[in-house]
Structure 1
């Protein structure tokens, strides 16, 4: 990367740059609210994790499905973003989530992986999965993103 101007960075460069900045030097993002950790950023693949924090509980006392949906939307969308050239954006058109098992809010780490399936000129698709600390599948999803050129 030869620039610090976000408008001149590829999607992958922008994500690497932005996630390396201290929180007080960048605008807040959804990952801050959910305490995301950025574990891997590669072209077409990203891995984020989050704690199953009691603050994310549903009325039954287990992890709210929205936490996994947010993690999945983030890793799949960012996987798409890593493939885009400078100045090109995207937005989620569709998100389909399948929940596999209940997750306790005991602080265990959940890991979400997003991988692109197809990135075209106007539309991209990606898939994602969330596993618990034991590697058991918690949820999986697919997305369709509109690419803004």
Structure 2
């Protein structure tokens, strides 16, 4: 099966978990991917702020998406580090990422989640195993 940018974009867009959380693809091209999330009440923790697991999930997705857009290979997260910098309770948030280094078997990627004013809410770095078709 071909692994074009369009194919990869559609696989993410059609992923049930991706849409269940409420993520939307804003932009998707090689090395330049942006997703957004409209914060809903069911995504808030007991403090009334966006649950940290949503931040981690969004970072995992954006890091994997940009890695896959560059490598055209399936990727598996082997490590994800999240730094929570600020909380949010409503509005839209956006995530973008870039590949820092790519080898044949591994890629290292970093990303950020920002609010609609550009304030950084969380940063993440991930290591991804590249799964090459045989």
**Aligned Cα RMSD in Å?**
1.6
Whichever structure has more strand as a proportion of its residues is 2
Task: Find the counterpart in structure 2 of residue 46 from structure 1.
Answer: 33
Residue 62 of structure 2 corresponds to residue 75 of structure 1? yes
Name structure 1 gaps, 5 residues minimum: 1-6, 21-25
Name structure 2 gaps, 5 residues minimum: none
SS at match of 1:63: coil
For 2:116, which of 122, 128, 133 is the aligned residue?
A: 133
| TM-score normalised per structure 2 | 0.90
| TM-score normalised per structure 1 | 0.82
Task: Find the counterpart in structure 1 of residue 24 from structure 2.
Answer: 37
Residue 23 of structure 2 corresponds to residue 9 of structure 1? no
Residue 60 of structure 2 corresponds to residue 66 of structure 1? no
SS at match of 1:115: strand
Q: Cα distance, 1:143 vs. partner?
A: 0.3
Between Structure 1 and Structure 2, how many residues are aligned? 132
Residue 95 of structure 2 corresponds to residue 101 of structure 1? no
